[in-house]
Amino acid sequence: MRSTGFLSERQRRFAWLGFLLAAFQAPLAAKVVDDASWFFAVVVALVVATVIIADDAERRRPEPVEFAE
């Protein structure tokens, strides 16, 4: 059995949705807004991507082997 990550499947789907929305919103906002406030969307996308990557690493970690005495 594979180990589970710290995100549930529903949270994982929402994380991917949030990442995609922030990643697509940033370049669009950069064209529309004159200031650098669009950079916040880039930072949010990077934070969400880091959480998704950490969850993937947790899911791929092998389960600890328990030895019988």
- Digit-coded pLDDT (tens) for 36-56: 888 888 999 999 999 999 999
- pTM beyond 0.75: the answer is yes
Q: What CA–CA distances, in Å, run from 29 to 9, 15, 19, 20, 49?
A: 30, 21, 15, 14, 20
- CA angle, 66 as apex, 62 and 69 as ends, to 5°? 165
| Residue 52 parent element (H or E) | helix 39-60
- The answer to whether 52 touches 15, Cβ cutoff 8 Å, is yes
Does the pLDDT at position 1 exceed 60?
Answer: no
Residue 22: inside a domain, yes or no? yes
What is the pLDDT, as a whole number, of residue 41? 87
User: Which range of residues forms the domain containing residue 29?
Assistant: 9-60
- The count of structural domains within the chain is 1
Across residues 57-62, what is the average pLDDT? Answer: 88
**Do the domain assignments include residue 55?**
yes
